Amino acid sequence: MVFDEILRRAKQEWESFCCGDVPRILVGTATCGRAAGALAVVEALKKELERCKLQATITEVGCIGLCSFEPLVTIIKPNYFTVCYHNVTPQKVPVLIESCIANDDPCLDLALGTVDRDERGAVYIPELPRFEHEYRVLLRNCGYIDPSNLSHYVANGGYGGLKKALGMAPEAVIEEVKLSGLRGRGGAGFPTGRKWELCRKASDEPKYVICNADEGDPGAFMDRVLLESDPYAVVEGMTIAAYAVGAKQGFVYIRAEYPLAVERLEAALHQAEELGLLGENILGKGFDFSIEIAKGAGAFVSGEETALIHAIEGRRSVPRVRPPYPAEKGLWGKPTLINNVKTFASVPPIIDKSAGWFSSIGTESSKGTAMFALAGKLVNTGLVEVAMGTTLRKLIFDIGGGIRGGKRFKAVQIGGPSGGCLPESMLDVPVDFDSLRQAGAIMGSGGIIVMDEDNCMVDTAKFFLDFIQKESCGKCSTCRIGTKHLLNILEDITAGRGKIDDLNLLAELCEDIRGGSLCGLGRTAPNPVLTTLRYFRGEYEAHVLEKKCSALVCKDLIAYYILPDKCERGCEHCVLACPAKAISPGRGGVKVIDQSKCTKCGSCQLVCPPEYSAVVKVSPVSSLPR
Amino acid sequence: MEELKAELADILEPSKRDRRFLISLLQEIQQRLGYLPEDAMLALADFLGVPGSTVYGVATFYNQFRFAPQGKHQVKVCMGTACHLAGGQLVLEAMSRELQVDVGGVTPDRTFGLERVACVGCCALAPVVVINGAVYPRMSPPKVEEVLVNIKLGNREHTIE
């Protein structure tokens, strides 16, 4: 089929989807929505419509990035304004159907806001504070189109980039990508156009294109959301790349832990093939390209490109020495282009709208937008996309809404387990590849985790080292043994067995690991330790010298205590909740914790009624009242 | 044994004898059998024409593969960064205490298995536990017993806030 025909049909379908005669209900059912109960809401909607004998279509869409408001339901009625409802539960469904579908009451008290501007004073969603600071390129379709309907993608400008690219010489496509200034979104920030050029110039055949969707950072879910909400953008980007470098076969290496992303990607590939946008003789231009899915079996190191190639070949994903770079010798020894999900998804708009448009967004050395998963102690967790160069402060306080529960900000961890923890004084650092590296962190693939005063930085460093040490592939001894030693020292410090010399030893070991490891995993593994030592040395010293954990986290350095003057004598919540049977009523019915039995699980503090709040943590243990 | 052979034949016959399918075949075997029995790994080595050590080496490298049967209800406690910061470790310890099984272990009657998993991507709901595909949001030690009792009683729909 020629492209114009595909576009005509897609527009027709989109038109009837948008302007049909019956109301439409959109439910966000990406993984995060499902975890919050979106599928139960879909079921409830279906039942209620049937019970009320009402006509409406229900469409499952992707994620618009407002995780803390999931499940989200949007109701679109013909000749009526569109309203989006947040935190919808099956219990709220009958009200919505009754008022909103059957009658003309928009139930604005349950709504997040309206998608169309309305005079009745409801919140206009695009004007919510966070959207004002966002710049959506990759997320433009997420949550708006049906991710299992290619027509929706095409009708909204999809495949315009591929059509244009196929009319250009491959070298011209590469030139355009180079001009755009796009840098690899997997974390290292290598210029994408240069990578493509290297692969194009490699003389060997066949060539391969690989999409790296092995998103292993705990707390990062940008790639997952893109693949679940707008998989076609990634497929189109890969197809353009394949045309540019001269490849016929592509692979998407994706985590098996993302079953929904795999399912939606499979469907997208199938539909693209049916329409002749993938397969043989794409759009009649004599260019062949097909994509296979390879499911990863769970290894953090697989995100490294040479390791990932080994995984696709059916081997242990152990990195190897570069050069030769994969662009020259990659999969099965052939020239291979590897880019991240977000990098590929950035390509179609660049080709479609021009390199100049893309390079007008962002900073001098980092062009375009950056996508982040905001998690941790924030009011608004979720997914955001901002222009490169936006400050961390804006991300955390303006978009993230600041710290939950009126607590104080302590640190932000950016770049995954091998990123760094930055303190409040660094919040005005612009988020781009180079500024972050200077500050001791890395861009990584885009996880941002915010910590408050209740998080201990030594414990945080220990957590990341525990992860890195388990995920080290074992090839380089500095990484394999060095990270284990780092972890041992951190365990000693958090257990109150640390010595002050340990702090220097940590720093020394970090340098050795950084210098003696082959791949990015080992080379960046010390970052959490180095940055916490640099910015939060006082906390380390308190652990070592005073045996005190000021955040009251490290178990060996804290004790639970029941304040006698706050304990309500008749209440026995803590006694019943204690799994160790360590709490009993003492003199006058005031509850007392037997410290020799206490396992420090914290249950007593959680069940103590808030009006008493009698259970407190103290540190050091020696400060426990007699 | 006969049963295992039939299952394996089912999985292997449609596949090409190519080393590159090693990981996907291991995934399929685990999907069908719940874990990777030694005999299955040896049969796969035979099929692909590689030494048994190669199959074992690959299988033990990746986190996904299991070498013993799992519990009927596999309790997966998320240990991603967001869950850790929100007290995931305390939830894991409470599960271990309540089930009387170590992390990575299975109860003697194979009803429950306990494992820690890296991020399941529900950071907004931290800390979370995943059991039989259902996500239990905002967990804490005092909620653990209730969740487990409801699973034993077969209340699969139950989630607590």
CB-based contact B61 A601, cutoff 8 Å: no
User: Would you state the pLDDT for residue B47?
Assistant: 96
The answer to whether residue B20 is domain-embedded is yes
CATH number for the domain harbouring residue B46 = 1.10.10
Whether residue B161 is predicted with pLDDT greater than 60 in this model: the reply is no
Task: Return the CATH fold of A369-452.
Answer: Ubiquitin-like (UB roll) (3.10.20)
Number of domains comprising chain B:
2
A294 to chain B, any CB pair closer than 8 A? The answer is: yes
Distant-in-sequence, close-in-space partners of B9: CB < 8 Å, separation ≥ 6? none
A188-200 tens-digit pLDDT: 889 999 999 999 9
Looking at the fold, whether B39 and B13 belong to one and the same domain comes out as yes
Report residue A397 CA to chain centroid gap: 18
**pLDDT of A1 over the 80 cut:** no
Q: What is the pLDDT of residues A282-301, one digit of tens each?
A: 999 999 999 999 999 989 99
Of the three residues B41, B61, B81, the one that is the final residue of a domain is B61
Domain ranges (residues) in chain A: 13-126, 158-359, 369-452, 457-546, 558-623
- Lowest mean pLDDT, pick from A20-34, A479-493, A503-517: A20-34
Nearest to A375 among B61, B82, B87 (CB): B82
Contacts of residue B137 in chain A, CB cutoff 8 Å? 35-36
Q: Are residues B80 and B33 in the same domain?
A: no
- In terms of domains, do B14 and B35 share one? yes
One domain, residues B8 and B55:
yes
Q: According to DSSP H, which parts of chain B are helical?
A: 2-12, 22-33, 38-48, 52-61, 81-85, 88-99, 141-152
Q: Does A325 touch chain B (CB under 8 A)?
A: no
pLDDT value of position A461: 96
A158-359: CATH number: 3.40.50.11540
| Chain B interface includes A218 (CB < 8 A) | yes
CB burial class (10 A; 0-12, 13-18, 19+) of residue A437? middle
B50 touches chain A (CB under 8 A): no
Closest chain A residue to the Cα of B161, Cα to Cα: A36
In a domain, B92, yes or no: yes
CB contacts of B64 in chain A (<8 Å) are: 256, 297-298
Closest chain A residue to B138, measured at CA: A36
Does B141 contact A579 at a Cβ distance shorter than 8 Å?
yes
Check CB contact of A28 with chain B, cutoff 8 Å: no
Among residues of chain A, what percentage have pLDDT more than 90? 81
Mutate to test the interface with B, among A70, A226, A257 (most CBs of B within 10 A): A257
Clarify whether residues B87 and B148 are in a common domain. yes
Same domain, B148 and B77: yes
| B114 and B43 together in one domain | no
What CATH number is given to the structural domain containing B85?
A: 3.40.30.10
Centre a 10 Å sphere on the Cβ of residue A434 and count the other Cβ atoms it contains: 14
Do both B82 and B115 map to the same domain? yes
Distance separating alpha carbons of residues A499 and A497, to the nearest angstrom: 7
Q: What is the pLDDT of residues A81-140, one digit of tens each?
A: 788 999 999 999 999 999 888 888 888 888 888 887 766 667 788 778 788 889 999 999
CA distance A298 to chain B (A): 5
Residue B161 within any structural domain of the chain: no
What pLDDT does B29 receive? 96
Using CA atoms, how far residue A307 sits from A250, A318, A327, A452, A527, in Å, is 17, 5, 14, 35, 21
- Residue B67 in any domain: the answer is no
Partner A contacted by B64 (CB < 8 A): yes
The reply to whether B43 and B78 lie within a common domain is: no
Nearest-CA distance from B116 to chain A in Å? 12
| CA-based nearest residue in chain A for residue B116 | A467
Contacts of B93 in chain A (CB under 8 A): 599, 601
- The torsion angles phi and psi of A455, rounded to 5 degrees, stand at -105, 130
B78 and B49 inside one domain: no
Among partner residues B24, B87, B122, which is closest to A295 by beta-carbon distance? Answer: B24
CB distance A407 to A552 below 8 Å: no
Mean pLDDT confidence for A400-427 = 92
| pLDDT per position as a tens digit, B65-86 | 999 999 999 999 999 889 999 9
Cα separation, B127 vs A219, whole angstroms: 12
- Max distance between CA atoms of chain A, in angstroms, equals 89
How far away is chain B from the Cα of A350, in angstroms, using its nearest Cα?
A: 29
Chain A segment 341-400 residues within 8 A of B by beta carbon are 373, 375-377, 381-382
Residue B127 maps to a domain: yes
Q: Which structural domain, as residue segments, surrounds residue B35?
A: 2-61
- ipTM, two decimals, is 0.91
Q: What is the pLDDT of residue A234?
A: 98
Does residue B156 belong to the interface with chain A, where contact is any CB pair within 8 Å? no
- What's the fold here for domain A558-623? Alpha-Beta Plaits (3.30.70)
Helices (H), A440-542: 457-471, 477-494, 501-516, 520-524, 527-535, 537-541
Question: Looking at residue B71, what DSSP letter applies?
Answer: P
In this structure, the answer to whether residues B51 and B93 fall within a common structural domain is no
| Mean of all residue pLDDT scores within chain A | 93
Q: Does residue A467 sit at the B interface (CB-CB below 8 Å)?
A: yes
With an 8 Å Cβ cutoff, is B148 touching chain A? no
Beta carbons within 8 Å of A414's beta carbon, 6+ residues apart? A392, A420, A422, A431, A436, A441, A442, A443, A444, A447, A448, A449
Nearest CB among A219, A297, A449 relative to B65 is that of A297
Q: Return the sign of the alpha-carbon dihedral for residues A258, A264, A268, A271.
A: positive
Domain at A13-126: CATH code: 3.40.30.10
Kindly indicate the confidence band of residue B156, based on its pLDDT and cuts at 50, 70 and 90.
low
Mark yes or no for CB contact B57/A316 under 8 Å: yes
Among A219, A577, A599, whose Cβ lies nearest the Cβ of B81? A219
The answer to whether A581 contacts chain B (CB < 8 Å) is no
How many Cβ atoms are within 10 Å of A297's Cβ, its own excluded?
Answer: 23
Asked if B42 and B84 sit in the same domain, the reply is: no
pLDDT digit string, tens, across residues A563-573: 999 998 889 99
Task: Look up the CATH architecture of domain A457-546.
Answer: Up-down Bundle (1.20)
